[in-house]
Amino acid sequence: MKRPSAKALMKHHFTIHIPAGQQRERLDLYLTGHVENATRNKVQQAIRSGEVRVNGACVKVSYPVMPNDVIEVQLSSPPPPDVLPEEIPLQIVYDDESLLVVNKPAGMVTHPAYKHYSGTLVNALLYYCDSLSQPHPMRPGIVHRLDKDTSGLLVVAKNESTHEKLSRQFAQKTSEREYWAIVWGRFKEPSGTIDAPLGRSKADRKKMAIIADGKSAVTEYEVIEQFEYLSLVKLHLRTGRTHQIRVHLASLHHPIFCDSTYGGDKIVAGGTDGKRKAEVANLMSLIGRQALHAKKLGFVHPVRKELMRFDSELPEDMQAVLNRLRKA
């Protein structure tokens, strides 16, 4: 494969303002943990070449990041590959001249990104649709996202006007979104609200965490059905942060069943004897991903001005887990 020329490289420039409560940490380690898709080697090269400046000055890779520092970063990277149409089956729930609603299966990435440039929902949409809105070259039509291993309903915009009006509804929290999840443990209260700010984890840049200076995040939950050591709950989002439901439930010690990122792939409730371990292993073999489904979606149609509401069946893997629990 031919290496891109210097002219073909893309420049990414951004500024990081270090909060007052930041503990001292090596610059290269800090940036590796806070810059998406960055490796430590790439960060060190950027620091040594002067592409990273702290308070306007070039520093060493071992410089200790301190409170109130201002870090300017300019990283070079090859441009992403073109996003191509791919003939991938889609479950279309609704389709008209302005938008469509799809039921995304678990395991499908919503849009192309680092390490996932094919096989995504966007690749399938480009094959299926003659036109899509263009908010971003890698995200045509995408108004909101679902995690790779979360299944469920998504609305897709076919033009810029529709995209803008739908995005406004999501931003102003006038859209309706209901998720169903199988989670660990039994709840003391049948319903409740989780209000805890979220930001990127300082320990692991791939994860989100509850942090004091994070973005506001509010999740409402209601228990639908409880079993011996698992529960089926429905959740409504007042905000739409990355991994919001998963982090919020884990903070209550009710991580989503089989969620390997936030502790749901370990036995959290109900004991750990040999019989229970075998039961849990059998249940996990039925699903193999976080048991989370975007079940309901509602919004006002940007052109027709009608309230549109959609409901989807739980996917077969979640149904299989629930059936096994009910029989037990």
The pTM for the full model equals 0.79
Q: Above 90 in pLDDT, residue 136? A: no
Judge contact between 209 and 198, C-beta under 8 A: yes
Superfamily of segment(s) 8-77: RNA-binding S4 domain (3.10.290.10)
In 3D space, the residue among 202, 203, 194, 289 whose CA is nearest the CA of residue 241 turns out to be 194
Q: What is the pLDDT of residues 66-85, one digit of tens each?
A: 988 999 988 766 566 678 89
* 195 is an active site residue: no
Q: Above 90 in pLDDT, residue 3? A: no
Low-confidence winner among 19-28, 82-91, 265-274 (lowest mean pLDDT): 19-28
Q: What residues pair up with 100 in beta bridges, in sequence order?
A: 95, 156
Edge-to-edge strand order for the sheet containing 57-58?
10-17, 70-77, 52-54, 57-58
Domains 81-172 and 178-294+319-327 share a fold: yes
Q: What is the pLDDT of residues 9-34, one digit of tens each?
A: 456 677 888 877 777 889 998 888 77
Domain ranges of the chain: 8-77, 81-172, 178-294+319-327
CATH topology of domain 81-172: Pseudouridine synthase (3.30.2350)
Question: Mean pLDDT over all residues of the chain?
Answer: 89
Judge contact between 175 and 229, C-beta under 8 A: no
Q: What is the greatest pairwise CA distance in the chain? A: 66
Angle (CA) 188 190 194, round 5°:
85
Judge contact between 61 and 45, C-beta under 8 A: no
178-294+319-327: in CATH 3.30.2350.10: yes
Given the residues 28, 82, 95, 147, the one annotated as active site: 147
